[in-house]
Amino acid sequence: MAYRINPLREGLGFGREVIGLTPGDIEREAVRRELRDYWLNDGLMVFRGSEVTPEFQIALSRVFGELEVHPVRELVTEGMPELITLVSDQHKEGLFEVDGKPSIAFLPWHSDLVFTDRINHGGVLTAQRISSWGGQTGFIDQVQAYALLPEELKARIEHLEIVYQLTVNPGYSRYGTRSRVRTIRVGDFEKSVGPRLDSDFPPVVHPMVFTQPDTGRKVLNISPFGALHILGHDDEEGHALLQRLVDHLVDCPAYYHGWQPSEMLLWDNWRMVHCVTGAAPDEVRIMQRTTIMGDYGLGRKLQMEAAA
C-alpha cells in the first residue's frame, strides 16, 4: 500500500500527516523531493503507520539535510551521535510545579538552538517511552504568526533584533511561559550546564523578522524561552514591545501532538516554535531527536560584536 499525505488538521493552516511511509519509499528521489517540498511549504510533518526504528529515523532525517552532532554534549546518545536522548525523570531532569501541579518534561515555547549563532534547520523526533498523561509537543507556525500581525507592528519590528542566551530552568525565562513555574528539585542537566553558560553559551543575536529563503514569506522570528531583550532596547519600552509580540505569537493557532511510540515528527526549526506540556512526575518520559544541519546565516555572537 502506497503512503498517503493529508492535511494535519482541517483549518489549521500548516502541517501535513504522512501515513505508511517505508524505508524503501525514501530511496526514490521523487519521494524525497515531494517530502522536502511539503516540509518547506507546511513546516510540520507527522509520520504515522511506519515501522519506527533509530535507523529509519536517521535515514528519514537525511532526506531533509545532513545531520550534525548537538552542541550540548550531555544529550548525545552513546553509540549513535546523530541522535540526542531527552530523558524526563524527576531524579535526573528535576521536578517543577507548573500552575500548582507537580510535573516533569515541561518546556516553554522555543526554537531549537536559538541560543547559538547557527540555528539548525530541523529535526525528527520520536517517543521511546511516553507518560500516562501530559508530555504533548505543541507547535505554532511563525509564518502564519507574521501574517496575522497588524501592519503598523510589521513596520515597527522590521529591522529589530533579539538577544538570546541558553536557559536551562523553565522558571527563569522572562518570556518563556504564562504558567507559574516553581522549581521543586534541580536536575542533573541544570547542575552540569548551568555553571558553563557564560563560557560555553555566550549571548547571541537573531533578527525578529526574516524572509523564508525558499518561499519569500516573512517569519516572525521569536523564541520566547531564552529571549533576554530587544537589542539596543533593554528598557521598559523595549520589554513591553517584546511582551506584546510574544503574547501575539502564543495566541496564534497551535497544534498539540499527543504521542504514540509508532510516530515520527519533523518540523522546520527556522519557522516553527514548539513547547512540551508537563507530564506525570512519577514516570519516565524518553524522546530521541536528530538535528538536521543548516544555517539561515542571520545569527551572530554578541561578544564578537562587542569586541569589534
pLDDT at 182 over 70: yes
Cell 493557532 found at: 253
- Strands 44-48 and 16-19: what pairing? parallel
Q: What is the mean pLDDT of residues 104-127?
A: 94
Single-letter code of the amino acid located at 95: L
pLDDT number for residue 47: 98
Q: 170, 232 in Cβ contact below 8 A? A: no
Structural domain of 289: 4-295
In this prediction, residue 196 carries a pLDDT of: 75
Is residue 191, in this structure, part of any structural domain at all? yes
Q: Which CATH number belongs to the domain containing residue 160 in this structure?
A: 3.60.130.10
**Average pLDDT value for residue range 153-179:** 93
Establish if 300 belongs to a structural domain: no
306 inside domain: no
> pLDDT > 70: what percent of the chain?
97
Q: What is the pLDDT of residue 97?
A: 95
* b/e per residue 287-306 (b: at least 16 CB within 10 A): bbbbbbbbebebbeebeeee
Q: Which residues pair with 252 in a beta bridge?
A: none
Whole-number pLDDT of residue 178: 92
Among 197, 202, 163, which Cα is nearest to 307's? 202
Neighbour count for residue 81 (Cβ, 10 Å): 13
Within a domain: 302: no
Residue 199 contacts by C-beta under 8 Å, 6 or more apart in sequence? none
Can you tell me the mean pLDDT for 289-301? 93
Whether residue 1 has pLDDT greater than 70? no
Question: Do the domain assignments include residue 90?
Answer: yes
**How far apart (Å, rounded) are the C-alpha atoms in residues 175 and 240?**
11
pLDDT for 307 equals: 45
**pLDDT confidence of residue 194:** 66
pLDDT averaged over every residue in the chain: 92
Closest listed residue to residue 134, CA positions, set 180, 169, 99: 99
pLDDT digits (tens, 9 = 90+) for 64-113: 999 988 777 777 777 788 899 888 988 877 899 999 999 999 999 999 98
Residue 301, domain member (yes or no)? no
Residue 100 lies inside a defined structural domain of this protein: yes
CA dist., res. 96 & res. 106, Å (int): 8
What's the pLDDT at 304?
55
The letter for the amino acid at 13 is G
Of the listed ranges 75-84, 127-136, 184-193, 210-219, the one predicted with least confidence? 184-193
Q: DSSP 3-state assignment of 243?
A: helix
For 49, other C-beta atoms within 10 Å of its C-beta total: 16
Task: Count how many domains the chain has.
Answer: 1
In the predicted structure, residue 202 carries a pLDDT above the cut 70:
yes
Q: Is residue 200 part of a domain?
A: yes
Distance CA 167, CA 270 (A): 19
Q: Sorting pLDDT into bands at 50, 70 and 90, what band is 253?
A: very high
pTM of the model: 0.92
Q: Which of 134, 144, 115 is nearest to 203 (CA)?
A: 115
pLDDT in the model for residue 308: 45
Answer for the pair 50, 262: CB distance below 8 angstroms, yes or no.
yes
What backbone phi and psi angles, to 5 degrees, belong to 170?
A: -65, -15
